[in-house]
Each structure stands twice: as C-alpha cells, then as structure tokens.
C-alpha cells in the first residue's frame, strides 16, 4: 500500500542540499498549510518593518552582557511526576525554534514576557557579519514568529545566552527552573535537530562534571552528560526532569573514536548539556 505524505514547510525548513555529490532532503512536517502561509507573510512584513536585533548590536552585547545578572520572577517548581507524553505537552508551548536565513537552533521561555534561554554559540553565530540582516526569529510551535530584540546576559564559559523576544503582548507559559540532578535520573529533551522541529527524546543523566553542585565559581565550566538523543539544530534546547522542570540546556555533542586521528567507527557520543546551576548564576530572583 502506497502512502502519500503531504509536507508543508516554512520557507527555510525544506531544503535540497548537495553534500559530497549526493542529495539529501531535510524535511519539517507541518500540518496546517494555511497557518504556514500566514506565518510566512508575517515574517516578510516583520523584516520589512525592521525593529530587530542587528548583528552589530548582538556582537557588542555578547561582550557587554558577559556574566551580567537579570532579575526574574521565580516560577514555582513542579512537584508532580509526569508521564513522558505530559512532559512533551508541557514543553511544547514554551520551546521555540531560533532561525535566520542560515541558522537553525533551539531555545526555551523562562518568563511570561518573553525572556528566552539559548546557547552563547547560537547568538555568536548570528552576530557574524556574514549573516543576512534579516533578524533572529523565535518561531513557536504554532508557527507564530517573534523577533529577538535584546541580549540580556551571556556566559561564554558555560555556553549560555539569555535573550528577550518581542511578544507583541502575548503572555507565554514559562518553564520552571529546577535543581541539580544527580546521575541516573530521567531527563527529556525537546529540540529541533536537522530541521526536524519539536523532536522529543528521553534518557538519563549519565555524568555530572561539577565540582560543587551548590556553588559555581565565576567563569567555571560545568557539564551534565545525558543519554537523551539530540543533534545539530538542537543547540539551546531545554533539558527537563520527570516533573517538567528545567535541569539543563543542550550545548554540544562529542563523538569518541578508537583512533582520534582517523575518526572512523565511533564508539559512543558524549552529549554534554549545561546544568541549570550555571543558568541560575545569571539570574537574581525577585
């Protein structure tokens, strides 16, 4: 039996790309064609009207906002354990796709007025003068676009950036910031690997690389390796516990090879996320 899949994609999420002479297709499944058309029109109009964070502004603020603290209203920590499907539903409205013409990444909302967390390297890439000057857009799960308008705080050491998006009056559902999570505990990730938006994965904390889980010294690096799967495009995605609280932020992945010089036959991949303790170092709670 032949099945026909009707695929609707945002203007930058469907691509045929040549690599080493071969063609591969990256597809993002979207179920509402009319909504996508409306989203495209909004983005075009937004770009024409300007008002977004420029590359020059981003480059300057990446430096001026290093290790600065923002004030944030504390969100109540979730105490009830959830099934995986409930965790997914909780994350969905608070997770965004961060996009420009040639950048795809992830982020998540931590305040009702649009304070958003992503990776430092994501904003650093956006600040490159080689990027087209069309702004950095946060796209929600219902394909509603919002401009990133400011950088509030950064941590190059721990690959974190806190940015502000123009919500145009919309009130978001923020995710709660949890606590240090020891090895063996279950975690979930919702990100956008290889243009496939809102990919949900499950795993455990495999290893914490933190000297002191309660106190993080200035400019000290820390990591939380997890087994939940993710890939390029998931940078900045939320990592949550089984209650839906933020316990980390996706950062990097490192393949381990028998012979590092040849890089053949990878044995495993270390998926290093940034534990929530590093994010809390950039926040003063009201």
pLDDT in tens, 42-80: 777 777 777 789 999 999 999 999 999 999 998 899 999
Given CATH 2.40.10.10, say whether it is the number of domain 51-165.
yes
In the chain, ranges of CATH 2.40.10.10 domains: 51-165, 186-285
Given CATH 2.40.10.10, say whether it is the number of domain 186-285.
yes
Closest CA to 75 of 240, 250, 265: 240
Say how many Å lie between the first and final Cα of the chain, rounded. 59
Higher-confidence position of 57 and 34: 57
Q: How high is the pLDDT of residue 11?
A: 36
Q: How high is the pLDDT of residue 148?
A: 95
């Amino acid at each position: 039996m032949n099945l026909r899949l009707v695929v609707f994609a945002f203007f930058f999420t469907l691509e045929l790309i040549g690599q080493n002479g071969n063609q591969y297709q990256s597809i993002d499944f979207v179920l509402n064609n009319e909504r996508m058309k409306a989203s495209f029109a909004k983005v075009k109009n937004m770009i024409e009207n300007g008002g977004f964070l420029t590359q020059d502004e981003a480059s300057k603020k990446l430096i001026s906002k290093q290790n600065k603290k923002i004030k944030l209203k504390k969100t109540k920590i979730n105490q009830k354990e959830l099934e995986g499907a409930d965790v997914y539903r909780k994350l969905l409205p608070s997770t965004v796709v961060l996009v420009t013409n040639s950048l795809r990444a992830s982020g998540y909302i931590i305040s009702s007025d649009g304070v958003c967390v992503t990776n430092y390297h994501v904003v650093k890439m956006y600040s490159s003068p080689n990027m087209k000057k069309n702004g950095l857009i946060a796209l929600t799960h219902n394909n509603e676009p919002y401009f990133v308008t400011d950088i509030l705080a950064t941590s190059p050491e721990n690959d974190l950036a806190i940015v502000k998006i123009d919500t145009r009056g919309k009130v978001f559902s923020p995710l709660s910031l949890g606590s240090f999570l020891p090895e063996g505990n279950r975690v979930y990730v919702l990100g956008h690997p290889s243009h496939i938006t809102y990919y949900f994965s499950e795993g455990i904390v495999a290893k914490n690389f933190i000297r002191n889980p309660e106190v993080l010294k200035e400019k000290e690096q820390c990591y939380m390796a997890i087994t939940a799967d993710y890939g390029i495009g998931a940078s900045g995605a939320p990592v949550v516990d089984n209650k839906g609280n933020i316990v980390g932020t996706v950062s990097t992945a490192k393949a381990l090879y028998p012979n590092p010089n040849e890089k053949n036959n990878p044995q495993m991949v270390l998926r290093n996320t940034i534990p929530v303790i590093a994010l809390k170092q950039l926040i003063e709670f009201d």
